[in-house]
Amino acid sequence: MGSLSELEVHLAPKTLFKLFGIVPITDSIVMMWLVMAVMIIIALIIRIRLKYLPTGFQNFVEWSLGGLYDFMENVGGKEAKKHFVIFITFFLAILFSNWMGLILGPISEKLGFLRAPTSDLNSTIALALIAFVYFEVAAIKAHGFFGYLGHFFNFKALFQKGPMGLIDFFVGLLHIISELVRPVALSLRLFGNIFGGEIVLTVAFLMMKQVLPVPFMMLEFMTGLIQAFVFSTLFLTFTSLNTAHAEEEHH
């Protein structure tokens, strides 16, 4: 088995070069660019070969997207379907990131930078912040700026209920904490699961360099799929919760 220092070399983020001599470009950034390129190429191929009557792979893709589209309605109602584009973008970006790290893993020892982007906390924080901005903007659109702000600073309850309104006001302040915890939970959950899988696979490869640890890789393939689905579903849930209050008030 390799030493602890050898394990750290495999898992630690690496700066490959500096853009304009200032901005550090790490291995996870390069892998994310590769993921984006692969997704764009696949999308272009599917678009070119698109048929009016689906067959084969196109039929599978349409069936999968249709299933996810119906799933969104079950989770967040009919209004949730308007968020389908960003939902499927998160799902596919994270799924490709997780799986490409596994597929290219066996040759990462030679090239040194083929790791899953989602095993870098910086990448998962970036994804979580994008999700956070999206469901906050969606909430502002649903409530209006001051209406959404009043959800956290409920001065209206103080004037209408007097001392009893302090409870509603305090609950609103607690909502600020819960809102800020959401991106933290999204980023740490995804990072922890994928990075943990990277550790397991790295140790397995160091122990069995001549034998591919297939069971561990199959487990991580399933974990990558589940984590992509969990992140996307939590994003959809948070967005639906932020916009649901406005729909209830309208009713």
- The pLDDT of residue 251 is 41
Give me the half-sphere count of Cα atoms (radius 13 Å) on the Cβ side of residue 147.
15
Residue 116 token pair: 């899953």
- The pLDDT of residue 129 is 94
17 phi-psi bin (left φ>0, alpha ψ -120 to 50, beta other) = beta
**pTM of the complete model:** 0.79
Helix (H) or strand (E) holding 52: none
- The pLDDT of residue 20 is 61
Question: Can you tell me the distance from the alpha carbon of 72 to that of 123, in angstroms, rounded to the nearest whole number?
Answer: 25
Residue 85 token pair: 């584009």
Q: Which residues contact 148 (CB under 8 A, 6 or more apart)?
A: 139, 140, 142
For the chain, list the strands marked E by DSSP.
Answer: 15-19, 23-26
pLDDT beneath 70: ranges in the chain: 1-21, 105-114, 155, 157-165, 204-206, 208-213, 245-251
- Residue given tokens 């939902």 in the structure block: 87
Residue 95 token pair: 């799924």
- The pLDDT of residue 6 is 46
| Secondary structure (H, E, C), 188-219 | HHHHHHHHHHHHHHHHHHHHCCCCCCHHHHHH
Domain range list for the chain: 4-250
- The pLDDT of residue 247 is 45
Question: Can you tell me the distance from the alpha carbon of 240 to that of 185, in angstroms, rounded to the nearest whole number?
Answer: 17
- The pLDDT of residue 14 is 67
Question: Can you tell me the distance from the alpha carbon of 22 to that of 38, in angstroms, rounded to the nearest whole number?
Answer: 27
80: DSSP letter = G
Helix (H) or strand (E) holding 149: helix 145-152
Secondary structure of residue 50 in the 3-state scheme: coil
